[in-house]
Amino acid sequence: MKYPIFFFGFVLVVVVGFVLMFTNYSNPAQQLNALMADEPITDCYDNTMEAWFVEFNNTQEEGVTMEEADKIAAEKALNQFDECTAETK
């Protein structure tokens, strides 16, 4: 009886792996978290986090849910980071 359970677990791991591989963490909040975990603290890092904070608070004041506010703020912060790194190159 335990072999079908192991097989189901294996299939589940493979499917989740492929989904994550093909979506490439398409959620902006996850992309921002991964980016900020890998980046050294620079002016671009500070500007990005400030942009996220300001946008998150503004959207929260408008009555948006926390999840949606985080998504919107992460998109703006990622754009801010891309612009900042393009300027410094």
Summarised one tens digit per residue, pLDDT across range 72-89 is 898 898 888 888 878 776
Q: Render pLDDT for 16-75 as a digit per residue (tens, 0 to 9).
A: 776 666 665 567 777 777 777 777 777 878 888 888 889 999 999 999 888 889 888 988
The single-letter DSSP state of residue 24 is: T
At residue 24, the pLDDT reads: 57
Both structure tokens of 43: 């002016």
Would you call 41 helix, strand, or coil by DSSP?
Answer: coil
Residues 6+ away with beta carbon under 8 Å from 77 = 32, 48, 49, 51, 52, 55
Q: Which tokens hold the place of 46?
A: 């500070």
